[in-house]
Amino acid sequence: MTPTVIQRLREAIGAVLLDVPAIVEAITAVEQELAAKDAEIAELRKRPTLDEVEAAMDAVCARWEGHDMGKTIVLLAVIRKLYAEKARAEAPK
């Protein structure tokens, strides 16, 4: 098993410095923040990709053939734009 960032940090600091309460608190805070980010990433991975959303919208558009396609096209364009903006905002930097 690969050591976690926190395990490597603890090893680098050594047992002597781990007796200092402020250092232990700082490491604990970092560990909690990393756990929160891991949970956030896991939640984001549950969401559909932009390609999946576009495929679903194309399927809806195909089923609605014969309806007011002008409104449908505008609606799909707005949804695509909003989803693309959201995907860019959430993309790893």
Give the integer Cα–Cα distance in Å for 51 and 75: 17
Check whether residue 8 and residue 33 sit in a common domain.
Answer: yes
Check whether residue 40 and residue 80 sit in a common domain.
Answer: no
Check whether residue 60 and residue 39 sit in a common domain.
Answer: no
CB 8 within 8 A of CB 34: no
Which residues, 6 or more positions from 27, have their beta carbon under 8 angstroms from its beta carbon? 6, 9, 10, 13, 18
Which pLDDT band, with edges at 50, 70 and 90, does 65 fall under? low
Check whether residue 51 and residue 84 sit in a common domain.
Answer: yes
Query: What are the pLDDT digits (tens) for 2-59?
Result: 567 778 887 888 777 778 888 888 888 888 888 888 888 888 778 777 777 778 777 7
Q: Tokens 């609606």 label which residue?
A: 75
Check the CA dihedral 22-27-31-34 and report its sign.
Answer: positive
Check whether residue 42 and residue 53 sit in a common domain.
Answer: no
Q: According to the model, what pLDDT value does residue 1 have?
A: 43
Which pLDDT band, with edges at 50, 70 and 90, does 64 fall under? low
Q: According to the model, what pLDDT value does residue 92 have?
A: 67
Range of the domain at 41: 1-46
Check whether residue 72 and residue 56 sit in a common domain.
Answer: yes
50-63 vs 69-90: helix crossing angle, rounded to 10: 170
Check whether residue 14 and residue 36 sit in a common domain.
Answer: yes
Check whether residue 25 and residue 66 sit in a common domain.
Answer: no
